Amino acid sequence: MTALPATIRRLLVANRGEIAVRICATARRLGIATVAVFSEADAEAMHVAVADQAFCIGPPPAQDSYLDIAAILAAARASGADSIHPGYGFLSENPLFAEACSAAGLVFVGPPAAAMRAMASKSAAKALMVEAGVPVVPGYFGADQSTAALRRAAHQIGYPLLIKAAAGGGGKGMKIVSAPGDFADALASAQREASSAFGDATVLLEKYLAQARHIEMQIFADRFGNQVHLFERDCSLQRRYQKVIEEAPACRVTPDLRMALAETALAAAAAVGYVGAGTVEFIVEDGQFYFMEMNTRLQVEHPVTEAITGLDLVEWQIRVARGEPLPLRQPQLVARGHAIEARLYAEDPERDFLPQTGLLQHLRWPEGVRVDSGVRQGDRIGRHYDPMLAKIIAVGADRDQAIARLDRALAATEIVGVANNRQFLRAVLAQPAFVAGEFDTQFLARNAASLRSSGESDPTLLALAALAVLRRAERAHRESADPADPFSPWGRAAGWRLAGAASVTVTLDGHCLAVQYETGGFLLALPSGPCRVQGDCDAAGNLSARLDAARITARAIFAPASLTLLCGGREARFALPDPAAAAASQAAAGHLVAPMPGQVTKLFVALGAMVEKGAPLMVIEAMKMEHTITAPWRGRVAKLPFVVGDIVPDSADLLQLDADATPE
């Protein structure tokens, strides 16, 4: 490709996280200076560090920072930026932002505002596609957003149906409704999420297709009427409408179906005069496809398309924004091999995937694959933004090889400090039906039981954890020895005793393990039976051990009240004795604690109210998703310290529910 014209000299990236880091990297390669914007919560974020300049644009809530058009334009003026790249999410599909950039004399690296406006509203886009003869999922896309009108439309569509935020994506503001009695609550929740995430509470309704696949087509267009497609992606593996694993090309897509999807996608783009990168999303079921929506921006999953085409889509965006023609035409575009991407999230699969916050104590990414991340070791994951830690992208000559490489990469990934979905992703990749390409958008829900951790302690990891704890205790003994008497037996390892071998107890996650010291090691009484353990664990946590006849290496990461063991792709976190822990006694006393930090957005009960087991008590919003707290037993609300709008920290007492009967 020819060099980029020097007319774009300074690019402001109106986003955060891994996409902001990625845009800065491409701009730097093209000789373009970069400007980052950040909220007060992101002052030390990675995207701030990699940019040439950075400007604070407001407090942590997105509405007051990353969604504040005036603040972003002020940063552009102050920095001397001549262009803005919106990334994805936030303002990336907001036509008012595109128009404001143009009015300020800035090049907007995205489609024209008119095209964005036509497609930004899912409702308007569907109406436009109906006029163009493109098949759409039956539903309601009307302007009347009253509860009565939406309820009537729902009755006509039939149940189950899907409520979707008209102005955004990412699974936010999206609810399945199975029966008429659930409609009102689901609608209210979807509207709150949509308003919080996108500043627009408008929703649409669709017939819910239970065994569909989510196939999307990447397209590109320039200002000279040239259009190309860059092949399709399969994004069917979703949980709560949030994509988890994506791949390109899509398996089980015939050449005829691929051609039909491509022609429809390009026709949709042409209908609105589209320019730049866009993604047209389809629902495919029983060989029939339906237009779902068009995302007028780069997608989170764009790396799999880059992997099979060898292109940099951010570079293409910049070139098109400067008025250049597309670098390649359709006959020149070839898909080679197979690419698959997994999204790593700070969430706890054992607690219904609740978003997690905390300090990234230890972080090591795998080698030999692409890792797109906006976080580093030592960063703190907060409650204000999407909890994605990274995307890991593996490429192979075919799908089987790509899956195998992604699994090895996930096995080599080390994350300590926040619960995450790494093991869950590996479990998904190991599912025979997934390997065979037999899945749809409900695959993860149907297979939830088989994807769940057994909860049983791995004897090998338990033994290694005990070794790490004992060796750390020995170091502590040595360090506390009297320096005036270095040969004192009292400064020796913890297992020394005057009368012979010592027996001690190591407590890990409630397991009280009897340990008897032997020459060169110890005999450990595991729940699965006795095990002779030898080896060492240095101060950095590098562990080399011999368990009976097996030699094993691992890594041990200590936190104040826990130990995380990483070994050959396996991982276990063990709670260490913590005298200050009182969560169990709180629960026994009727206290309900916050499962995560967040903001109270709705209260269903009042002080003194009597509630039944399972009744909703309050809604907490964290990372733009709502989480309903329900009553674990029948009882009376004795304390209610928070009101709507209050911020609650992790593990805070949300309320006290005095039991009316013995808790089950």
In the chain, CATH 3.30.470.20 covers: 214-451
In the chain, CATH 3.40.50.20 covers: 10-109
Contact criterion met (CB below 8 Å) for 259 and 217: no
Label residues 40-65 b or e (16+ Cβ within 10 Å = b): ebbeebbbbebbebbbbbbeebbeeb
Contact criterion met (CB below 8 Å) for 283 and 213: yes
DSSP 208-233: --TT-EEEEEEEEE-TTS-EEEEEEE
Question: CA–CA separation, 84 vs 318, rounded Å?
Answer: 10
Q: Give me the sign of the Cα torsion angle 615, 620, 621, 622.
A: negative
* Fold held by 10-109: Rossmann fold (3.40.50)
> In the chain, count of helices (H) and strands (E)?
18, 39
| SS3 label, residue 534 | strand
* Tokens describing residue 443: 């695959």
Considering 16, 213, 239, 297, which one is annotated as catalytic?
297
Contact criterion met (CB below 8 Å) for 464 and 554: yes
Question: CA–CA separation, 31 vs 514, rounded Å?
Answer: 63
Cα atoms found within 13 Å of the Cα of residue 56, Cβ hemisphere only = 10
Q: Is the peptide bond before 160 cis (omega within 30 degrees of 0)?
A: yes
Question: CA–CA separation, 625 vs 622, rounded Å?
Answer: 6
Question: CA–CA separation, 658 vs 639, rounded Å?
Answer: 9
Question: CA–CA separation, 120 vs 112, rounded Å?
Answer: 12
Element (H, E) at 658: strand 653-659
Contact criterion met (CB below 8 Å) for 48 and 42: yes
pLDDT of residue 520: 81
Question: CA–CA separation, 122 vs 169, rounded Å?
Answer: 10
Q: Which residues are CB-contacts of 166 (< 8 A; sequence separation ≥ 6)? A: 121, 122, 123, 141, 194, 200, 202, 203, 204
Contact criterion met (CB below 8 Å) for 381 and 370: no
Taking the chain (664 residues) in runs of 10, the rounded mean pLDDT of each run is 65 98 97 98 97 98 96 98 96 95 96 89 78 83 91 92 81 87 93 84 88 95 97 94 94 94 93 94 90 92 98 98 96 98 95 90 95 96 93 98 98 93 96 96 92 80 92 78 53 46 77 86 91 93 93 90 88 74 46 78 91 88 74 89 86 82 48
CATH classification code of 583-659: 2.40.50.100
pLDDT of residue 581: 44
In the chain, CATH 3.30.1490.20 covers: 138-207
| CATH ID of 459-480+490-575, from 3.20.20.70, 3.40.50.450, 3.30.700.30, 1.10.10.60 | 3.30.700.30
Q: How many CB atoms lie within 10 A of CB 123?
A: 21
Q: Which residues are CB-contacts of 477 (< 8 A; sequence separation ≥ 6)? A: 491, 492, 493, 494
C-alpha pair distances (Å), 306 with each of 246, 247, 323, 544: 13, 11, 22, 40
Task: Tell the residue number behind the tokens 């899912």, with chain if given.
Answer: 122
* Tokens describing residue 274: 């589209």
DSSP 30-72: TT-EEEEEEEGGGTT-HHHHHSSEEEEEESSSGGGTTT-HHHH
Question: CA–CA separation, 609 vs 623, rounded Å?
Answer: 30
Going by C-alpha positions, the residue among 322, 327, 318, 234 that lies closest to residue 277 is: 318
- Provide the H-helix boundaries in 416-554: 422-429, 432-435, 443-446, 448-451, 459-479
pLDDT of residue 167: 78
pLDDT of residue 1: 44
pTM for the predicted model, two decimal places: 0.80
Q: How many CB atoms lie within 10 A of CB 129?
A: 24
Question: CA–CA separation, 101 vs 375, rounded Å?
Answer: 29
* Angle CA 100–173–303, to nearest 5: 70
Beta pairing partners, 648: 598
C-alpha pair distances (Å), 614 with each of 179, 348, 499, 589, 619: 18, 21, 58, 18, 14
Contact criterion met (CB below 8 Å) for 246 and 239: no
| SS3 label, residue 664 | coil
Amino acid (one-letter) located at 15: N
* Tokens describing residue 221: 């267009």
Contact criterion met (CB below 8 Å) for 203 and 241: no
In the chain, CATH 3.30.700.30 covers: 459-480+490-575
Sheet holding 203-207, edge to edge: 139-140, 203-207, 161-165, 175-177
CA-atom Rg of the chain in angstroms: 27
* Tokens describing residue 273: 């005069």
| SS3 label, residue 529 | strand
The DSSP code for 367 is: S
214-451 architecture in CATH? 2-Layer Sandwich (3.30)
- Is domain 138-207 given the CATH code 3.30.1490.20 in the classification? yes
Contact criterion met (CB below 8 Å) for 335 and 308: yes
Cα maximum dimension of the chain: 91
Indicate if 297 belongs to the active site: yes
